[in-house]
Amino acid sequence: MKNKEKKRPKRKETGEDYYLNKKCWLVKNLDHPPYRRCQYCELRFNDCLFMRYQVISFVLGCFSFLLIYLFEKMIPFYDIVIIFTIVIVYGYYFNSSTEKIVKSNFLEKKAKEELRALSGELEMRVERQTKNIKKQNKNLKELLNIKSDFLRTVNHQLNTPLTIMKSAFAMMEDKSLSTEQGIGIASHGLERMSSTIEDFWDAFELEEQKVPVNLVETDIEVIIDEMVEEKRKMESVMNKDLKIELSMPGFSIPKVLCDQKKISHAISNLLDNAVFYTQKGSVGIRFEKIKRGKKECLKVFISDTGEGIPTKDRKKIFEKFTRGSTTSSINPNGSGLGLYIAKTIIEKSGGKLTLESSVVGKGTTFSFVLEVASAKGSAEIIP
């Protein structure tokens, strides 16, 4: 049979029964505390109050006997009894008071340590709670700002087309506008309202993660070709005589991993953003192969010759309901969600959307990166 390992006795702490003060020579040699007060003591043997009393009592007793002997040439029995009685009675009370002093000193020290520990813990809790409150206040301010931006955007983006539609119907009623013209104007307002509501819903779904992202091997070249052709037919593109140029690279554009339907939405938003804020010139698309760690990726650049983004607006351009300080006058119909939706879709596909550069009055370049699909054409569904 295997010998059972002996459990090491738990070390007694100061104040507990049978605590051994290893600093004390007497306790260490006796291997037990000679007095009850010893369990509260952490002093060395030569610093012991009672030991000092015993030494002093012994010296005084010897000195007393010596004086009596010198004067009386003998030591009467009653003197011995008196002296020993005094020593014993005084020793008893001294012993009791010493025990109380040692115990009270120990309890005072322990109380101070506990108070110090409690104070430190309270300070940590207060500091932690203060940080939490500051964080909650910051989050609350952000939520209030988002709410204000949302209400402002809804008020403008939904009220404006409603006003257009009401005006069109009113003008048709008083015969100042033909039915065909009025319906055309109303349809335009309805289309604008539908587009805004669709942006709100897309942003909500992406943020709440209710719609899974289906990563499949996707021919991004085909999607971009279709998007370019679609945007070239936009009324604003033709009215401003904008050129949308697709620069083909010197390599075969690889297939990438992404959600095929959602990436079309993201690319459409990026192209719309470039078209809406470019009054003249062109919108360009080019490709580049890069490495992200060990993964091969395709990088797509979308550039324009538009108004550019002021430096103070660049940190917030990907946030919900955020628009540049000069954009409202250029494109009053924007919801402030296009770049947020594009960024979220691309990131959910494992990619990254970046503002590469922007010069006020000269144009802006965005880029997004997607992982190149393997030869097997892997697919993955991310909830």
| pLDDT digit string, tens, across residues 55-65 | 777 777 777 77
Which residues of 172-275 form beta strands (DSSP E)?
Answer: 213-218, 243-246, 256-258
**Contact between residue 157 and residue 335 where contact means Cβ atoms under 8 Å apart:** yes
For 102-120, how does the pLDDT look when each residue is reduced to its tens digit (9 = 90+)?
Answer: 777 777 777 777 888 888 8
Q: Quick one: average pLDDT of 116-144? A: 82
User: 171 pLDDT band (50/70/90 cuts)?
Assistant: confident
**Contact between residue 228 and residue 189 where contact means Cβ atoms under 8 Å apart:** no
Distances, alpha carbon 320 to alpha carbons 24, 134, 156, 329, 383, in Å: 72, 23, 15, 19, 22
Q: Answer yes or no: is pLDDT of 354 > 90.
A: yes
Q: Answer yes or no: is pLDDT of 13 > 70.
A: no
Q: Quick one: average pLDDT of 249-253? A: 92
Please report which residue ranges of 37-76 form alpha helices under DSSP H.
49-72
Q: Quick one: average pLDDT of 241-245? A: 93
For 294-308, how does the pLDDT look when each residue is reduced to its tens digit (9 = 90+)?
Answer: 889 999 999 999 988
* Fold annotation for 212-382: Heat Shock Protein 90 (3.30.565)
SS3 197: helix
Which of 238, 377, 350, 244 lies closest to 304, judged by CA? 244
Confidence (pLDDT) at 381 = 46
- Global pTM reads 0.53
Task: Give the residue range(s) of CATH 3.30.565.10 domains in the chain.
Answer: 212-382
Amino acid, res. 202: D
